[in-house]
A and B are shown apart, each in its own frame.
Chain A
Amino acid sequence: MPLGVFIFLAALAVTSALGTVLQRNPVHCLLALVVTLLAIAVMFIGLGAVTVGFLQVIVYAGAIMVLFLFVIWLLNLQAELRTSPGYLALKALAGLLCAALVAELFTLLWHAPTAGGAQAAAPPGYGSIEKIATMLFSDYLISFEVTSVLLLAAIVGAMALARRAPAPQHASPQAAAADGPARPEGA
């Protein structure tokens, strides 16, 4: 990967990571996080780890982001809560954990093999999409197929629980009206 591209991506990732932490609106934090994850995904692809890069986009920037959004909407977090004194202890804990993470990263970096050594250790085609696809459709065929059934079952279950059913017949007319389609979502 050319150095210029790397510096650009790294700057983008760090800036948006700062944005994730410093923004006040949780949805803006989330959007900044998406940018960080995408920048890192591009770095992965640039380093030859194409599969990891795409998984980063699909799983992190895709699925997990949607989950975050759902939780934010579910909890109705409009304004940030930051005045409570209890958060000070939490912040101290977060700082401690961050320090531990940084220490861990530097240790890993210190002991990491040089770039050439790491490349030589992996056989050609290691981790390529083609290799993974071949595995998925041969050794893990059953798992792959079952996953689709699992998703179907989850969709059917979610639909069954979420669909607007007619009110039970033994309920009073008032209750039936309250359950009718006129009721706004999440009110």
Chain B
Amino acid sequence: MTQFNWSLINFAWLPILPLIVVAVGAMGVLLAGVQVDDEDSGALGILTIALLVFAAVLSLLLFGGRPSVAFSGALAAGGYTAYFDLLVLFAAAMTALMSVEYAADQGLAGAEYYALLMFAALGMMLMAAGDDLIVIFLGLETMSIAIYALAGFMRHDPRSNEAALKYFLLGAFSTGFLLYGIAFIYGATGSIKLEPIEAALSRPATDNALLLAGVGLLLIGFGFKIAAVPFHMWAPDAYEGAPTPVTAFMAVGVKAAAFAAFVRIFMVHLGPLGPQWTMVLWVMAGLTMTVGNLAALVQTNIKRMLAYSAIAHAGYILVGMTAAAAPRAGGAILYYLLGYAFTNLGAFTVVVALERRGAIHDNLADYRGLAARHPFLAAAMALFMLSLAGVPPLAGFFGKFYIFSAALDAHLLWLTIIAVINSVISAYYYLSVLIAMYVREGGVEPAALRTRPALIATLVIAAAGTVAIGLFPQPYITSAAGAFVSALGNAPHHHVVLSR
């Protein structure tokens, strides 16, 4: 029996501290919840938020850190990882905050709900940190499995069951594509880690057909997760049926994490193959924006409408990825995801506010006359809708502005025109929510907001962020751009196509 050589482990505590806090925290919440009734799971929600905030503080300390890799190149530490960690932890904490009253009211199994929320967040953070296709895959699975279960948490609601099953089956299917792609890339390059893969791209011996097949399969796998057309079929049903805070988390957290890995693999490490994959992304981006926005026009259910809106926004972000040749594109995508997170979390919080146990008011008609009865709620919703539509000076406007100008830098004139036309189309359905709230009459009376302080807090944070990121975009775009550059800092060969 030979002795295990401990020095083989390239161990580093610092980069994984936030991950450890979230993983151990999830188990802690599970244990703490053993004695807690589902009807008063609010305390568990507060504990979850505290743990997530603690992890976020640790990530913030790592934000300025020098880019480095740990665990033999399995994890990347530095600005890029920390940026997405903060984004994911923020989305998870906001989801927990809007669930504090909701989960207790709906009688959801509190301990499992919050633990799965944290497991999903852990998976997302791993996707952001993974510098290794296996770690990214495991992160994606941890996230997805937790979210599949969360989507079906309203077990007495057939819509929730349908959402979970559809999301699970199609998600498992897409995982197959992703894994197949990883296997092909491993076969072509002989490595599972991103930096050696990038190094192998410039070797003439690398089998190009096998490599491109792998990259294509990877594109399909990520296309499913970000709900890009034509891989978006699951999204409207899953978004509609899932408990609304989970829908918010799906729209913001899953999307941010999927793009974190997607951008890191493609824009940072597969730069030399840029001409090939940007061609595919061009078509995907155009289709995703157009189909998402056109389908959103005819929706009468607000969660379905927001689902199609989320598809359309994935399309705008794909425009940013198509513009990979422009140095500003990476920062623009990261900034877009930040503004989108605040705005979308806010919009879903308003949807949560209108729901009560046994009565789901998620039809557009339910919002009629909301302004007269709840001016605060209606004003918040109006703010979020205007930001999603891209009205200045809100977060959504500058997100689109940076993405579109990066696209122009990359000489994607036609794609930018398609994107601008789509923005105009999208204004119609976002504004129809405003018209319902401010002009029409009827609708439903939401549960008294006074008894739901956590919901008010969520709304205030989301609204403040939507305004602040829009009014003062400079610090945010600077840190977003810096975060993206720090990811490039890990990659020695990026200058083949992308310039710093």
Q: How far is the CB of B19 from chain A (nearest CB, A)?
A: 9
0/1 per residue, A153-168, Cβ < 8 Å to B? 1101111110101011
| Interface: A141 (CB within 8 A) | yes
Chain B residues in 8 Å Cβ range of A130: 2
Given A143-B74, A157-B116, A159-B112: A150 and B138 within 8 A (CB)? yes
User: Is A3 in the interface zone, CB < 8 Å from B?
Assistant: no
Q: Using Cβ atoms and an 8 Å threshold, which residues of chain B touch A168?
A: 107, 156, 357-358
Query: Inside 8 A of B116's CB, which chain A residues have their CB?
Result: 153, 156-157, 160
Query: CB of B149 within 8 A of chain A?
Result: yes
Which A residues touch B4, using CB under 8 A? Answer: 134, 137
Tell whether B23 is near chain A: CB-to-CB under 8 Å: yes
- Among B9, B107, B138, which residue has its beta carbon within 8 angstroms of that of A169? B107
Contact B358 A149 (CB under 8 A): no
Q: How far is the CA of A159 from the CA of B34 in the complex (A)?
A: 13
List of B residues within 8 angstroms of A157 by Cβ: 112, 116, 145-146, 148-150
Q: Which B residues, 133 to 151, have Cβ-Cβ distances below 8 Å to chain A?
A: 134-135, 138-139, 141-142, 145-146, 148-150
How many A-B pairs fall under 8 Å by CB? Answer: 100
CB < 8 Å neighbour of B71 from A142, A170, A171: A142
Contact of B122 with A134 in the complex, beta carbons under 8 Å: no
User: In whole angstroms, how far apart are the Cα atoms of A150 and B141 in the complex?
Assistant: 7
A159, B2: Cα distance in complex, Å: 41
Beta-carbon contacts of B141-185 to A below 8 Å, as 1s and 0s? 110011011101101100000001000000000000000000000
User: Cβ of A150 and Cβ of B145 under 8 Å apart?
Assistant: yes
* Chain B residues closer than 8 Å to A147, beta-carbon distance: 138
Chain A residues, Cβ within 8 Å of B5: 134, 138
Q: Is A140 an interface residue (CB 8 A)?
A: yes
Contact of B153 among A152, A160, A171 (CB under 8 A): A160
In the complex, A170→B157 CA distance in Å? 13
Q: Is A185 an interface residue (CB 8 A)?
A: no
A143 lies within 8 A of B9 (CB): no
Question: How many residues in B have their beta carbons less than 8 Å from beta carbons of A?
Answer: 47
Contact with B along A98-140 (1 / 0, CB 8 A): 0000000000000000000000000000000010001001111
In the bound complex, do residue B152 and residue A161 qualify as a contact, i.e. CB atoms below 8 Å apart?
yes
Contacts of B119 in A (CB 8 A): 149, 152-153, 156
Q: Is the CB of A146 within 8 A of B139?
A: yes
Asked whether, in the complex, the Cβ of A160 is within 8 Å of the Cβ of B113, the reply is yes
* 8 Å CB interface, A13-41 against B: none
Residues of A within 8 Å of B, CB-based: how many? 29
A153-B138 contact given A159-B112, A163-B109, A165-B109, CB 8 Å threshold: no
Which residue, A142, A147, A149, has most C-beta atoms of chain B within 10 A? A142
Q: B276 interface residue, CB < 8 Å from A?
A: no
Given the complex of chains A and B, what is the CA–CA distance between A143 and B75 in angstroms?
Answer: 10
Residues of A contacting B156 in the complex (Cβ-Cβ under 8 angstroms): 167-168, 171
User: Is the beta-carbon distance between B126 and A161 smaller than 8 angstroms?
Assistant: no
Q: Which of B74, B150, B153, B357 contacts A140 (CB 8 A)?
A: B74
**Are the C-beta atoms of A139 and B74 separated by less than 8 Å?**
yes
B101 within 8 A of A: no
Residues B107 and A158 in contact, CB atoms below 8 Å apart: no
- Known: A142-B71, A149-B122, A160-B153. Is A154-B113 also a contact (CB below 8 A)? no
Q: Given A160-B153, A161-B152, decide whether A149 and B107 contact each other with a Cβ distance below 8 A.
A: no
Pair A161/B30 contact, Cβ less than 8 Å: no
Cα distance, A130 to B8, chains bound together (Å): 14
From B5, B123, B141, B142, name the one whose CB has the most chain A CB atoms within 10 angstroms.
Answer: B142
* B115 part of interface (Cβ distance < 8 Å): yes
Residue of A nearest to B141 (CB): A150
Tell me, rounded to whole Å, the shortest Cβ–Cβ distance linking A72 to chain B: 19
Judge whether A146 and B138 touch: CB under 8 Å.
yes
Look across to chain A and name the residue whose beta carbon is closest to the beta carbon of B109: A160
CB of A162 to closest CB in B, whole Å = 9
- Chain A contacts of B135 at CB under 8 A? 142-143, 146
Which residue of the partner chain A has the closest CB to B106? A168
Q: How far is the CA of A141 from the CA of B19 in the complex (A)?
A: 14
B435 interfacial by beta-carbon distance below 8 Å: no
Bits for B344-368, please: 1 = Cβ < 8 Å to A, else 0: 0000000000000110000000000
CB of B4 to closest CB in A, whole Å: 7
Note all chain B residues with C-beta closer than 8 A to A137: 4, 8-9
Closest chain-A Cβ to B496's Cβ sits at a distance in Å of: 27
- The reply on B240 being an interface residue by CB < 8 A is no
Closest beta carbon of chain A to B398's beta carbon, Å? 36
Q: Which residues of B contact A160 (CB under 8 A)?
A: 109, 112-113, 116, 149, 153
Q: Which of A139, A154, A161, A165 contacts B164 (CB 8 A)?
A: A161
B27 at the interface (CB under 8 A from A): yes
Is the Cβ of B155 less than 8 Å from the Cβ of A165? yes
Which chain B residue has the least Cβ–Cβ distance from A154?
B145
A138 touches B72 (CB 8 A): yes
Name the A residues within 8 Å of B11 (CB-CB): 141
Please, which residues of chain B bring their CB within 8 A of the CB of A167?
156
Q: Which residues of A contact B27 (CB under 8 A)?
A: 152
Question: Could you say which residues of chain A place their CB within 8 Å of the CB of B85?
Answer: none
* A91 CA to B141 CA, complexed, in Å: 36
A134-B5, A156-B115 known; 4 new pairs, CB 8 Å cut-off, are A146-B142, A156-B116, A157-B149, A161-B152
22 A-B contacts, Cβ less than 8 Å apart? A134-B5, A138-B10, A142-B71, A142-B74, A142-B132, A146-B126, A146-B135, A152-B119, A153-B116, A153-B145, A156-B30, A156-B115, A157-B116, A157-B146, A157-B148, A157-B150, A158-B149, A160-B116, A160-B149, A161-B155, A165-B38, A169-B107
